[in-house]
């Protein structure tokens, strides 16, 4: 089957809706990024990450780079999960070798109470403009994924001021002033519903909610401070006619296997599974209402072709035996040191071997 035929069929969307596909569709978290030489070139010319991400033309170009190079089944808009906190006035910037930082992290009660839901249509117009441009350039070749960070993940960055190994400040707020954290999470939920709605209006075909730091919580805390607010977003989008039919993928990094059933219960179309779990075991705990997405260890792409092929075939055979809807992906984002030819090998293998298994 030729790539052009696959694109017209939009196997990614069919799999999200639990429909049979002639092959397993594949996209990759962080598929546009530093492992691509063309990305590094455009990033250098832009001068900074934010200059790149806030320029709709450049963001469109970066989104399209992996689609031009590889036979992927979906594009994901090039942006960052921290755009919403930035629109709330926290002053997002990126430091080389450190990552995202906020100039105005949340430290005092006043910092939490003074926050307001931003006017996303105005303050984040560059994201929606990039989606519109990208949709026009894709011209129906593949679907486009929009995304956001989960309220809890965004709260972690806003309270810590950046990334963290142990999230001490966040956990102090959680255990000392849970009312403040709930206040923040409620504001973020409202902002994210508006943000994702505008992404759909601009042309996003599917959405993913990245709960990067939810896995740092205990199960009771995950239910109260992460899943509860993700569920609010999912429910709000389902209640709006213009977003009701847009499939949503839920993904929590480092999630215990027991949490996947919780995701199924809140009504997502697909669940992202990281590499610590066997997809077949996850599928057995579910009622078959959700597609599964994943779950190759990203760092195996630094290994030999033989190891990449072996593990990829194992995952495809495992899901073929289970019979559940499956979207192939990494268990987390692409590593910057990956050789693009390893990515090509993976994509071609997924397409051809999964088609053989269905023959």
Q: Angle at CA 341, nearest 5°, toward 25 and 273?
A: 40
Per the residue annotation, which of 23, 35, 39, 157 is the catalytic one?
Answer: 157
Q: Is 30 a catalytic residue?
A: yes
Q: Is 43 a catalytic residue?
A: yes
Per the residue annotation, which of 30, 73, 205, 260 is the catalytic one?
Answer: 30
Which of 163, 222, 172, 186 lies closest to 113 in space, CA to CA?
186
CA atoms of 145 and 135, how far apart (whole Å): 10
Per the residue annotation, which of 34, 169, 276, 311 is the catalytic one?
Answer: 34
**Burial letters for 47-71: b for 16+ Cβ neighbours within 10 Å, e otherwise?**
eebbebbbbbebbbbbbbbbbeebb
Per the residue annotation, which of 23, 35, 39, 43 is the catalytic one?
Answer: 43
CA atoms of 236 and 231, how far apart (whole Å): 8
Per the residue annotation, which of 6, 35, 80, 211 is the catalytic one?
Answer: 80
CA atoms of 222 and 357, how far apart (whole Å): 38
Q: Is 129 a catalytic residue?
A: no
Which of 265, 271, 232, 220 lies closest to 248 in space, CA to CA?
271
> Among positive and negative, which fits the CA dihedral 26, 73, 283, 153?
positive
CA atoms of 229 and 35, how far apart (whole Å): 33
Residue 79 DSSP label: -
Q: Is 35 a catalytic residue?
A: no
Half-sphere exposure at residue 53, Cβ-oriented, CA atoms within 13 angstroms? 17
**Tokens 């996303």, residue located:** 120
Q: What are phi and psi of 10, to 5 degrees?
A: 50, 60
Q: Strand 270-272 vs strand 248-252: parallel, antiparallel, or unpaired?
A: parallel
DSSP3 helix / strand / coil % (the chain, rounded to 5): 55, 10, 35
Q: Which residues contact 241 (CB under 8 A, 6 or more apart)?
A: none
Residues acting as catalytic residues = 30, 34, 43, 80, 157
């Amino acid at each position: 089957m030729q790539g052009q035929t696959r694109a017209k069929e939009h196997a990614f969307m069919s799999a999200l809706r639990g429909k049979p596909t002639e092959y397993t569709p594949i996209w990759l978290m962080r598929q546009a990024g530093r492992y691509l030489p063309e990305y590094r070139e455009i990033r250098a010319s832009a001068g900074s990450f934010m200059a790149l991400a806030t320029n709709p033309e450049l963001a469109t170009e970066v989104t399209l780079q992996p689609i031009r190079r590889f036979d992927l089944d979906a594009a994901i808009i090039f942006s960052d999960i921290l755009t919403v906190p930035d629109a709330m006035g926290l002053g997002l910037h990126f430091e080389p070798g450190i990552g995202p930082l906020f100039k105005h992290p949340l430290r005092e009660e006043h910092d939490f109470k003074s926050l307001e839901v931003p006017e996303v249509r105005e303050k984040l117009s560059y994201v929606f403009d990039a989606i519109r441009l990208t949709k026009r350039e894709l011209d129906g070749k593949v679907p486009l994924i929009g995304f956001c960070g989960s309220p809890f993940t965004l709260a972690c960055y806003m309270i810590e001021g950046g990334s963290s190994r142990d999230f001490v400040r966040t956990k102090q707020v959680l255990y000392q002033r849970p009312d403040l954290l709930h206040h923040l999470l409620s504001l973020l939920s409202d902002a994210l519903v508006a943000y994702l709605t505008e992404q759909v209006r601009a042309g996003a075909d599917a959405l993913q909610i990245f709960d990067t730091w939810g896995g740092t919580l205990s199960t009771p805390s995950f239910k109260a401070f992460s899943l509860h607010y993700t569920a609010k977003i999912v429910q709000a989008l389902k209640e709006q006619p213009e977003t009701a039919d847009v499939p949503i993928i839920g993904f929590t990094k480092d999630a215990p296997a027991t949490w996947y059933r919780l995701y199924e219960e809140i009504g997502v179309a697909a669940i992202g599974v990281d590499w610590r779990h066997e997809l077949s075991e996850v599928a057995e705990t579910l009622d078959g209402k959700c597609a599964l997405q994943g779950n190759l260890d990203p760092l195996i792409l630094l290994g030999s072709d033989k190891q990449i092929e072996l593990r990829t075939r194992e995952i495809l055979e495992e899901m073929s035996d289970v019979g559940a809807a499956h979207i192939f992906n990494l268990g987390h984002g692409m590593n910057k040191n990956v050789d693009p030819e390893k990515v090509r090998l993976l994509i071609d293998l997924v397409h051809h071997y999964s088609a053989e298994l269905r023959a």
